[in-house]
Amino acid sequence: MLDYARQRALEVLKDTRNVVLATSGPAGVQASEFPCEAVSLDLFLLVPQTSDHLFNLEYETTVTLLAAGWEMKGKAQIVAPGTADLELDLSREPGASWCVLVRITPCQVQILREGGWGNIETIDLAGS
């Protein structure tokens, strides 16, 4: 069952190119759209260095991501420059040099009902 859940989550996340990141903390509730790229189950986001999201992430790493068709709850980690061994297409995005890479590790993915209200499927990934 766990393999199915992970595979289903991979299918949902793999082609996502933009997400809305929601954070909360000392800078208040923030919600902004950022480019992203999936690597396995993790999503990497390009967040501008001046974003209040980064200030919030220093205090609270729990985040919510929203995209067309799904919602994710996860843990965020700011990736120090030069520490990622990844060749990300994100690094070629315009303005990438003015951004910080943020890694989101999913805890739960909710797949939304197409053309309707509510979730059709919830995938818990915490501890997997």
Convert the pLDDT of each residue in 38-87 to its tens digit: 999 999 999 999 999 999 999 999 999 999 889 999 999 999 876 666 78
pLDDT band at 125 (very low <50, low <70, confident <90, very high): confident
Q: What is the DSSP letter of 121?
A: E
Identify the residue with better confidence: 14 or 5. 14
Please give the tally of structural domains in the chain: 1
Q: How many Å apart are CA 37 and CA 47, to the nearest integer?
A: 12
Per-residue pLDDT at 128 exceeds 60: no
> Could you tell me the CATH number of the domain that includes residue 26?
2.30.110.10
pLDDT over 90, % of the chain: 65
What range defines the domain where residue 21 resides? 2-124
Q: What type of residue is 117?
A: W
pLDDT band at 1 (very low <50, low <70, confident <90, very high): very low
